[in-house]
A and B are shown apart, each in its own frame.
Chain A
Amino acid sequence: MAEEFVKPRRVLDVSALPDVTFASRSITWWGTLGMMVIEAGVFALALASYLYLHSRSATWPPGVLPPDLLWGTINTAIFVLSMIPTEWYRRRARQGDTSSVQIGLVLACIIGVATLLVRYKEMTHLNTDWTQSAYGSIVWLIMGLHITHLLTDWVESVVLTVLFFSPHIEGKRFVDAEENASYWYFVVITWIPIYFIIYWAPRWLRS
C-alpha cells in the first residue's frame, strides 16, 4: 500500500454516516443478539433435558407435589406487565430523550428487585430440593439459570442507571439503554416456556 498518489483518486467519503445507530445497524445489538442465541440454546437444552428425564421416569413428579402455582404466576404477571414501561423507555431512548430514559431505567431497577423478591418466594414453593431426585435437580437447574439472568440484568440496569445520572450521557448510552430493554425482553420471553415447564408440565404430564 505504499503507492504514491499525486493525481486525484476516487475515495468513498463516509464522514456523513451516523455514529449513533440502533438495532441491526449497531454492532452492540449484534453482540447482544449473539449472547442471547447462546443463552437461549442453553435454556432449550435444559428444557429438553427436563422432558428427556420425564420420558425416562415412571412417575412424574416423582413422589412430590408439583410446585405451588401462586408465586410463579405472580412473577409471570410482573414479567408480562413490565414490558409496557420497558417498551416506553426503549422507544424514548431512540429519540435521545434523557429524562424519560432516566425514569424508565429507575423503573427497570425497581421491577428487577420485585421479580427477585418474588423469585425468592417461588424457590421456597418448588416442593422439591435438588438432592432428592433428578426431577428436583433439573427444576433447580432451570430456575437457577433464569435467576442468573435476572441478577445479571439487574446489575446491568443499575450500572446503566448510574451512568444516566452522570456526565457520561452521550449517544452510545442511549444505544445501551435500548439494548438493556431488549435484553429484558429476552429474560421475559425465555421465562414463558420455563413457566409452563416448571409449573404446568408436572400437572399436565403427571403420571
Chain B
Amino acid sequence: MSEQKAQLVLEVASRESSERRAENLTRVWAEPAGVWGWFKAVHHTTIGKRYIVTAFAFFLAAGLLAGAMRLQLAFPEAHIMSPDMYNQVFTMHGTVMMFLFAVPMMFEALSVYLVPLMVGTRNIAFPRLNAFSYYLFLFGGLTLFAFFFVNSGPDRGWFAYVPLSGPDYTPGKRADMWAQLITFTEVSALAVAVEVVVTVFKLRAPGMSLNRIPVFVWGQVVTAFMVIFAMPGVVIASTMLLLDRTASTQFYNPAVGGDVLLYQHLFWWFGHPEVYIIFIPGTAIVSTIIATFSRRHVFGYMALVLSLIATGFIAFGLWVHHMFATGIPQMSESFFTAASMMIAIPAGTQIFCWIATVATGKVVLRTPMLWVLGFFFVFILGGMTGIFVASVPVDLQVHDTYFVVAHFHYVLIGGAVFPMFGAFAYWFPKITGRMMSERLGVWSFWLFTIGFNITFFPMHILGLRGMPRRVYTYPAGAGWTVLNQIESCGYVLLFLGVLVFLVNVWRSLRTGPIASSNPWGAGGLEWAADSPPKPYNFLDLPTVNGREALWDAAPDQPIVAGLHEDVREMLTTRLMDAEPEGRDEFPEPTIWPFVAAVVTTALFIGSIFRPVAVSIGAIPLAIALIGWFWPTRQESARRRERDIWQKNS
C-alpha cells in the first residue's frame, strides 16, 4: 500500500482537546480586526454576507426606480419626469436589476456564502480573488449610481443596442458608463464562477461523489459554467461598443463594413444564458427547500441534475429568439423557435419532480415553503407566455410591447425573486444565528404575491392592446389608463411586502429566537456548522455517506483529521468520487485585493474618458497583483520544511 493515502483510524479525543483545537482554529481563521481589517477580510462567509447585503441594496434602489416609473405611468400625459429622465430611469432599473442584483444575488452572493459550507470545506477556493470580485462589483455599482446622480445615467435600455447607443446617436458618456458597468460586473461574476467550479470540483468532503452533490450546489456549478461560456459574449460586445465610441473603431458602422446585428448576436449569446444564470439558482433553491419541508429526499435527483445540465446546454442555442423582429432568415427563425420550445422539457421535468416530492412527502408549510409555492404559480405562468413569445408570429405581434414586459417579469421575479425570499427565510438562521418571524414572513409573502400579480398581470392585456414598452407617457384616449392605474396600485402592495420583509429582518436580527445549528431538521452539510458558522466553518471536517449528508450519516460517520491547524490548511479530493488526494493552504487575509480593485476601478472609469488610461492603469495594477501573490519569508520557509511531494508525478 502506498503511504500517500488517507487512512481510517480510531482516535480518542477528550472534550478539553476539542476545546483547545476550537480556540486555536478561531485564532488562525479570525478575520483581521479594525478598520483596515475590514478591507483585508477573505473568508467566504464575510464576503458572502457583504454580497448579499450589497445586492439587496441594489434591488431596493432599482425597485424605487420602478416606483418612479409606476408613478409616472399612473396618469396619462403626465409630466412628473421628463422623457429624458424616464429613459435613464428605465435603463437604470433594468441594468441594476440584471447586472447588480439578479446575477450577483442569485449566483455570486448565494454561492459564495453557501457552497463551501455545503461541500464541507473551510473557505472558498481562491478567497483573495473572491474579495477582489466583491469590491469590483461594489465599486461598479457605486460608479453607475454616481453617474446617474449627475445626469449621466445610461439611457438606451438595458441592452444598449447599436446604432442608437453608438457614437452617432448617443453623445456624452452615458453609453460608455453602461459599457464599463458591464465590464465591472462580468469580471466579478467570472471570478466567482471559477472559484465555485474549483471549490466544488476539488474541495468536497470525502465521500461526496458527483452523485451525492446537493442539488443546490449542482445548480450553482451549472450556473458557473454558463457564466464562463456566456460572459465572453458581452465582454466582446461591450468592448467593441466602447471602442467604437472612444477609439474610433468601426465594428458597428455599416458605412465601412460594420454590422449592427453583430452586436445583437454577441449580446444575446450572453443575454439569453444570462436569464438562466438567474433562474437556475432559483430552481436549485426550490429543490432544496422542497426536500427539507417535505421531509424526504428530493424525488428524481438524477432527473433534476440532468435537467439543470440540459438547461445549461440548451441555453446557448436560443439567443436568436430575441432577434425575431430583425429580419433574419426564416430558416433560422424556425430553428430557434424549436430550440426555445425544447427548454420546456427540462423545465417540465423539474416541475414534475417537485410535485412528486411534495405529493409523497409530509409537507410542513413554513415561510420558505410558501415562497416556493408562490414560485410555482408565478413561474409557470411566465413559462406559458414564454411559449407564446417563442413562436415567431406571436412574437412579431407583441414585440416591444408590455406583453413582453409582463412575460419577463413573471419569469424573472417568479424564477429568481420568489426563490430568493424563500432562501432568505430558509438560510437566515444559519447566516445570523436567529430565526425570522413566521407571522411577518407570511404577511410579506402575501403582500408581495398579490401585489406582484396586480402589478404585472394587467401588462399582458396592455401589451395585447398595443401599449409599447419604454414610453414615458401615453394619451388619455388610448384605453390604457385604468390598467396602468391598477398596476401602480399593485406596486404599493409590492412595496409594502418588501417593507414588511425588511422590518422582519431588522426585528429578527435583534430579538429573534436563537437558532440551533439545524432548526429545520434539514439534511445538507451547511446545517452541521454552527449558526452562524464559526470562522473555520467546521471544527471537524465532515465525511459524507449520502445525498443528504446529515440524514444519511452512519452512526459512526468518520471525521477528517491530520490537517495542520496552525495554518489555513484544506483537504483536496478527487473530482469524481471525492477520494482525499492532497492538502493545500488557503491564503491569509490581505489588503491587496482591495488595492487591486481600487486601481482597476480607476482604470475602468479612466478608460471612459481616455483609452490610454488602460495602459497607464496597467502599471499600478501589475504592482498590486504582484503584492497580492508575493509570499512572506515565514510561509515559504514553513512550507519548504513541511512539503510532501506527490509521488509518480
Query: Which of A52, A57, A168 has the most B CB atoms < 10 Å from its CB?
Result: A168
Contacts of A4 in B (CB 8 A): 15
Per-residue CB contact flags for chain B residues 546-566 toward chain A (1 = under 8 Å, else 0) read 000000000011111111000
Give chain B's interface secondary structure class.
mixed
Per-residue CB contact flags for chain B residues 126-166 toward chain A (1 = under 8 Å, else 0) read 10000000000000000000000000000000000000000
Q: How large is the interface on A (under 10, 10 to 19, 20 to 34, 35 or more residues)?
A: 35 or more
Query: A62 and B256 in contact (CB under 8 A), knowing A9-B13, A45-B269?
Result: yes
Contacts of A130 in B (CB 8 A): 243, 247-250
Say if the beta carbon of B434 comes within 8 Å of chain A.
Answer: no
Report Cα–Cα, A42/B643, bound state, in Å: 37
Per-residue CB contact flags for chain B residues 574-595 toward chain A (1 = under 8 Å, else 0) read 0100001111110000000000
Per-residue CB contact flags for chain A residues 78-109 toward chain B (1 = under 8 Å, else 0) read 00000000000000001110000000000000
A1-57 contacts to B, CB under 8 A, are 1, 4-22, 24-27, 30-31, 34-35, 37-38, 41-42, 44-46, 49, 52-53, 56-57
Query: A31 and B194 in contact (CB under 8 A), knowing A14-B6, A94-B649?
Result: yes
Checking A38, A96, A163 against B645 with a beta-carbon cut-off of 8 angstroms, the contacting residue is A96
Checking B190, B259, B538, B560 against A11 with a beta-carbon cut-off of 8 angstroms, the contacting residue is B560
**B645 to A, closest residue via Cβ:** A20
Say if the beta carbon of B330 comes within 8 Å of chain A.
Answer: no
**B561 to A, closest residue via Cβ:** A11
Let me know if B250 and A19 touch, CB within 8 A. no
Which of B436-444, B490-498, B628-636 is the interface stretch?
B628-636
Let me know if B228 and A137 touch, CB within 8 A. no
Q: How large is the interface on B (under 10, 10 to 19, 20 to 34, 35 or more residues)?
A: 35 or more
Checking A14, A25, A133, A137 against B571 with a beta-carbon cut-off of 8 angstroms, the contacting residue is A14
Contacts of A191 in B (CB 8 A): none
Contacts of A184 in B (CB 8 A): none
Say if the beta carbon of A125 comes within 8 Å of chain B.
Answer: no
Report Cα–Cα, A1/B527, bound state, in Å: 10
Let me know if A8 and B11 touch, CB within 8 A. yes
Let me know if B259 and A5 touch, CB within 8 A. no
Let me know if B262 and A1 touch, CB within 8 A. no
Contacts of A44 in B (CB 8 A): 232
Report Cα–Cα, A57/B262, bound state, in Å: 13
Let me know if A171 and B643 touch, CB within 8 A. yes
Say if the beta carbon of A140 comes within 8 Å of chain B.
Answer: yes
Query: Which of A34, A135, A141 has the most B CB atoms < 10 Å from its CB?
Result: A34
How near does chain A come to B627, taking the closest CB pair, in angstroms? 11
Contacts of A31 in B (CB 8 A): 125-126, 194, 198
Checking A20, A38, A53 against B258 with a beta-carbon cut-off of 8 angstroms, the contacting residue is A53
A157-171 contacts to B, CB under 8 A, are 159, 163, 167-171
How near does chain B come to A153, taking the closest CB pair, in angstroms? 12
Let me know if B639 and A45 touch, CB within 8 A. no
Checking B3, B201, B629, B642 against A19 with a beta-carbon cut-off of 8 angstroms, the contacting residue is B642
Let me know if B259 and A53 touch, CB within 8 A. yes
Say if the beta carbon of B294 comes within 8 Å of chain A.
Answer: no
Report Cα–Cα, A56/B261, bound state, in Å: 10
Let me know if B8 and A11 touch, CB within 8 A. yes
Say if the beta carbon of B425 comes within 8 Å of chain A.
Answer: no
**A/B interface sample: 19 pairs, CB < 8 A:** A1-B530, A6-B14, A12-B562, A14-B560, A17-B4, A17-B580, A18-B647, A27-B584, A30-B201, A41-B231, A49-B266, A134-B253, A134-B256, A163-B631, A167-B636, A168-B631, A168-B633, A169-B636, A171-B643
Give 4 nearest A-B pairs by CB, closest first: A15-B562, A34-B194, A41-B232, A137-B249
Task: Mark B residues whose CB is within 8 Å of A.
Answer: 3-15, 18, 125-126, 190, 193-194, 197-198, 201-203, 206, 228-229, 231-233, 235-236, 239-240, 243-244, 247-253, 256-259, 262, 265-266, 269, 517, 528-530, 538-540, 543, 556-563, 569, 571-572, 575, 580-585, 622, 626, 629, 631, 633, 636-637, 639-640, 642-647, 649
